[in-house]
Amino acid sequence: MAVEVTSAAPRGAGMPVDWDLAAGTGARLVPAGPAVTPAQAATEVARLRDGARVSEQHVRALTGLGAGLPVPEADVVDRPDWIRSAVDGIAALLDDAPVPRPPDGLVGDAVGRVTRSAAGIQMGTLLAFLGSRVLGQYDPFGGPERAGRLLLVAPNVVAARQALDVDADDFALWVCLHEATHRLQFTAVPWLRDHFRTEVAAFAGGFDRSASGAVDRLPEIVKAVRRDPPRDGLALVEMFQGAEQRAVLDRLLALTTLLEGHAEHVMDAVGPAVVPTVATIRARFTTRRRGGSVLDRLLRTLLGVDAKIRQYEQGRVFVDHVVDQVGLSGLNAVWTAPETLPLRAEITDPDAWLRRVHA
């Protein structure tokens, strides 16, 4: 599959991860995409680039965001290049995270190398799994000078379209609507990018303090697990966190759920007017998103993909309700400042957000 990839800035060293090993491991492990001819590949690349341009204009017209901003070209990539780009973006995002370091000296150096290598292999394995499933992604921290880039993974779009048996042009535009919305969120809201980076750095920097506190609370945690087993991996993680890191996680979850729900709402609002077969695509894609083999569902649960699916659903319910009550212009108050973002409790109680922000 033809690709277009721009060079990334050097990877940071904020987190103890061998980023080069992560990228190499992921690229080696990810399975090959569907077989296509050069002509088919060229057609798909052109279709996705055009879909990215067209879809952002539709998103701007609906949301009222981003008027006058340029519309950069999307990068159409294959699976290994998506993995390499994801590694660059994650490294850039975590570059400033304050993390513990092993002690100086030969022992500390050896521990550091082992830790970085193990983390790199784990990261690469995770990205290899995701690399065969991600259709597109807006990376606010990727691309030249870390200005952000919209990535569309052509082999995965082709594979998904073939599995769903849907119209090629309609499906490409439908996928682009979601990712163009994410790009517009970060480009039209000037404070969002730095706010997100700061929150992620605060969350990553709290791991060491949370781990120390969890040791002291271990008997209490064990009793709680026996009494009320956590419903998923996220609930278990939260049990090991201190109050400070839980507060950061709450803000991050609320923000990412809002971003996904906003993109889902826009897809469904714009779709019927510009994607003739949107009802068929949405129905089949929703079924596919929740399906898969037992092994696939287990891996998705362990890697947090199922939690991501719940984010789509919860976020869309929040956005749909707010738009029903105050319209899209009223929803746009959410982008005023970090203080107007929904709290985690408000995601499942949108009337509480309306009372706080629109009172």
Supply 327's token pair: 């319209």
Domain ranges of the chain: 19-205+242-358
Minimum mean pLDDT range among 105-119, 226-240, 298-312: 226-240
In this prediction the pTM is 0.80
pLDDT at 146 over 80: no
Tell me the residue type at 328. Answer: L
List, for residues 245-282, the tens digit of each pLDDT value: 788 888 988 998 999 999 999 999 998 999 999 999 99
C-beta separation of 254 from 318 below 8 A: no
The reported pLDDT for the residue numbered 222 is 45
Query: SS3 sequence, 200-247?
Result: HHHHHHCHHHHHHHHHHCHHHHHHHHHHCCCCCHHHHHHHCCCHHHHH
C-beta separation of 123 from 22 below 8 A: yes
List, for residues 300-350, the tens digit of each pLDDT value: 555 555 566 677 788 999 999 999 999 999 999 999 999 999 999 999 999
Kindly state the DSSP code that residue 149 receives in the 8-state scheme. Answer: E
